[in-house]
Amino acid sequence: MTSTAVHSAYGYDDLPRLMGLMTGDEKHGPAATSTLDALWVLYERVLRVSPERVDDPERDRFLLSKGHGPMAYYAVLAAKGFLGEALLPGFGSYDSPLGHHPDRLLVPGAEISSGSLGHGLPLAVGTALGLRAQGRTGPAVWVLIGDAELDEGSNHEAIAYAGAVGLERLHTLVIDNASATHGWPGGIASRFAAEGWSTATVDGRDHQALYEAYGAPHPGRPHAVVARVEPKN
């Protein structure tokens, strides 16, 4: 898979330090750390977006639906130059743009405001449909959801619709930390496959496996990657 993702002076090894700058209550630590590797591989090796391209209509779109634990997201955005490292220690404070839920009007590079479970995937479907209506076939749409969000019915309507209309520029990344109330025979990927999606299930800490799953060909179909990580305590 070819990629024009933008690299920076920060590396993966810098992320724990960047995350450590964010302190205080209501951190939702497991929700954040479960996404760290998947987010890093996306921004480092896949997404065609940069601080200079946040308004470029041909940019890739990344939507964080799992917005109730944004520390890893903020750390990756800082590592990639979307926001300054100096903002991180103010995380969650009254006058900080970095809230406990991301606000697209305050966080550079954030495509949506998020945190309420079940909203991101339907918004990603709408984004992909909008790009299709504009004739823009280049931008990819990525949305990261938590496995517990699949308890929300809005996601299942979105999964069914996206498969039926063949939204091939839509990619859903499901972080599976065993938080979901419900399940499906054959695992989470089977729910997407039943609606015609291309799917892959990988170790959510294995960077090469994530990269290969992200780039798997899926002509005419949306693509779902289930990234399994350690169960939430």
**Beta-carbon-side half-sphere exposure of residue 180 (alpha carbons within 13 Å):** 19
For residues 129-153, average pLDDT? 94
Helix axes 120-133, 153-165, angle to 10 degrees: 30
The answer to whether the pTM exceeds 0.85 is: yes
Taking only the tens place, the pLDDT of each residue in 61-113 is 999 998 888 999 999 999 999 999 999 999 989 899 999 999 999 999 999 99
For residues 199-226, average pLDDT? 98
What does the pLDDT read at residue 25? 61
Q: How confident is the model at residue 7 (pLDDT cuts 50, 70, 90)?
A: very low
Structure tokens at 226: 């289930």
Contact 59, 53 (CB under 8 A): yes
What does the pLDDT read at residue 174? 97
What does the pLDDT read at residue 126? 97
